[in-house]
Amino acid sequence: MSANQPPPLVDYNLFESDAPLRESLEREGAAWAHELVSDLGSLAGTQQAIDWGFQANANPPQLRTHDRFGNRIDEVEFHPAWHELMRVAIGHGLHSLPWREPRPGAHAARAAAFYVWSQVEGGHGCPVSMTYAAVPALRREPKLAAQWEPLLTTLDYDPGLRQAGTKKGVLFGMAMTERQGGSDVRANTTRATPTGSNGEHLLTGSKWFCSAPMCDAFLVLAQAPAGLSCFLLPRVLPDGTRNAFHIERLKDKLGNRSNASSEIALDNAWAVLIGEEGNGVRTILEMVNHTRLDCVIGSASLMRQAVAQATHHTAHRKAFGKLLSDQPLMVNVLADIAVESEATTLLMMRLAGAFDRADDTTEAHFKRIGVAIGKFWTCKRAIAVVAEALECHGGNGYVEESILPRLYREAPLNSIWEGSGNVNALDVLRAMQREPDTVTAYIAEIDLAKGQNPDLDRAIEELTRDLRRSSTEESHARRLVEHMAVVLQASLLVRHGDAAVAELFVRSRVSGSWGHTFGTLDSVPELKSVIERHRPRLY
């Protein structure tokens, strides 16, 4: 080993080294999945899995629009490492666990597993996430669900464009966004022309962002005679011919480089209606809610990997005569980003638990507002945490041999995908206006922490007054939702987190004893214990 260089962070179990995740898995009723998540955690820490992540990003997908005879094929070719990452993800049910095993804690178990494996590489999580999220929308049409769900929920990764019935398993994507509308999907112009009975339509138009276009089928929004509607569009038709789904080009993105994101054109592409004509947004919304949960999970995953890298590096690197991890200012920075990571992990698992318990009315209302709150806040915090962790490495963190540049490029994606910060903040206001029971459920959740910390009690009372005034002024949405997110995280930490982490979070984020950057916590002896709680242990 070179002088004053840390050993590689390899050959450790990402799950067993993550106390907040282990504790949350038990608390959310998914202890039965311990072995599954631990197996993934062990594999994720191997040099082989780490290499797959680097290889998949160094060799991005390539588009082949035509074969050598000039025939349109619209295929995307991936590096073998991508397929290995997908094989592990699908083989462990990250795309289907709650639907394959509809038991208490299944969404929480899947969230923990997705969080662990996403630390290896984030881009391949896109088709995994969309496949997971497609099932609730498909169930709007029982006949379609009966046809597709058995293929969606297998543990077999079977790439390549073939008729779905001949495959061992399929993947689903989503195509909503158009260049003139972006998040405003009601401005979509793609047309859906009815062709007869059974909901069959022909779709014509273009989509500006279609992620993972190599998937077997897509949920697509298009304008039918009665308005914007949702359709299932397969890549290969029942007779084995290619549907008129043409990939125009792949996007050259900031990050997420292992994953193919594309512009597509539909030229009388065959599709079948899902849900009621004209209710496309409502039909696809449940899919969006599940992918928004995955944005929270992905952000928590990025934070955790960044904190693991930073705490490991500084425990072995010396500067000015002593380890970085023994220097007071670095201790403050490391503890601060560890606190943020733990708060996000607890929120992620609490939201996943709400999906498990959505049959309970209160939990369903909490899920409705909580996912939008969590999506808004945690996706923004991930960007700041990863940047700070990179800085902890100095120049070593800025080179591609480090995983930090990839994490840094990946972090902004979750804040954009499935609605930007403004879209999600306004969605919280919309829930408050149209579904006041969501506010009641949120208040009931944070009230569970009352009596355990006087500063948090005051914050809960102040926020409750604000919410009951039902302020719906759009220009204040971000401030309100930020406040709701921080108080919710504080409530979870006080009830379930490490005592030192909870105290630091409340003192800094809630009481205001904090600066505008990480590393401005009060100097207390507990800072080192917080770092040790979050530092990964090599075998």
pLDDT at 87 over 70: yes
Q: Percent of the chain at pLDDT above 90?
A: 93
Provide the CATH number for the domain formed by 19-278 in this structure.
2.40.110.20
Q: Percent of the chain at pLDDT above 70?
A: 99
Contact residues for 253 (Cβ-Cβ < 8 A; gap 6+)? 261
Cα Rg, the chain, nearest whole Å: 23
Q: Rounded distance, CA 44 to CA 16, Å?
A: 11
Q: Token pair of 398, please?
A: 């800025």
pLDDT at 307 over 60: yes
Question: Strand (E) positions, 280-334?
Answer: 318-319, 322-323
Q: Token pair of 13, please?
A: 């179990």
- Provide DSSP, 113-154: HHHHHHTT-STTHHHHHHHHHHHHHHTTSHHHHHHHHHHHS-
Determine if the pTM surpasses 0.75.
yes
pLDDT at position 471 is: 62
User: What CA–CA distances, in Å, run from 387 to 51, 212, 219, 337?
Assistant: 23, 27, 35, 10
Q: Token pair of 393, please?
A: 């490495």
Q: What is the mean pLDDT of residues 449-454?
A: 97
Q: What is the mean pLDDT of residues 121-135?
A: 97
Within the chain, all domains assigned CATH 2.40.110.20 are found at 19-278
pLDDT at 383 over 60: yes
Within the chain, all domains assigned CATH 1.20.140.10 are found at 282-534
pLDDT at position 351 is: 98
**Facing residues of 467 across strands?**
none
Q: Rounded distance, CA 375 to CA 509, Å?
A: 18
Q: Rounded distance, CA 405 to CA 539, Å?
A: 26
- What pLDDT band is residue 539 in, cutting at 50, 70 and 90? low
pLDDT tens digit sequence for 166-186: 999 999 999 999 998 778 888
Q: Rounded distance, CA 334 to CA 314, Å?
A: 9
Handedness of CA 439, 445, 448, 454 (dihedral sign): negative
pLDDT at position 242 is: 96
Q: Is 482 helix (H, G, I), strand (E, B) or coil?
A: helix
Contact 209, 202 (CB under 8 A): no
Mean confidence (pLDDT) of the chain: 96
- What pLDDT band is residue 395 in, cutting at 50, 70 and 90? very high
pLDDT tens digit sequence for 209-267: 998 999 999 999 999 999 999 999 999 999 999 999 999 999 999 999 999 999 999 99
Half-sphere exposure of 416 (CA within 13 A, CB side): 13
Q: What is the mean pLDDT of residues 454-481?
A: 90
282-534: CATH topology is Butyryl-CoA Dehydrogenase, subunit A; domain 3 (1.20.140)
pLDDT at position 3 is: 86
- What pLDDT band is residue 468 in, cutting at 50, 70 and 90? confident
Half-sphere exposure of 25 (CA within 13 A, CB side): 24
pLDDT at 536 over 80: yes
Amino acid (one-letter) located at 155: L
Count of CB atoms within 10 A of residue 496's CB?
Answer: 17
Task: Return the minimum-mean-pLDDT range out of 94-98, 113-117, 354-358, 415-419.
Answer: 415-419
pLDDT at position 470 is: 64
pLDDT at position 186 is: 83
Q: Token pair of 432, please?
A: 């408050």
| Residue located via tokens 């409502």 | 282
Q: Token pair of 323, please?
A: 């380890």
**H helix or E strand, kind and range, residue 81:** helix 80-91
Give the residue from 270, 147, 277, 251 showing the smallest Cα distance to 200.
270
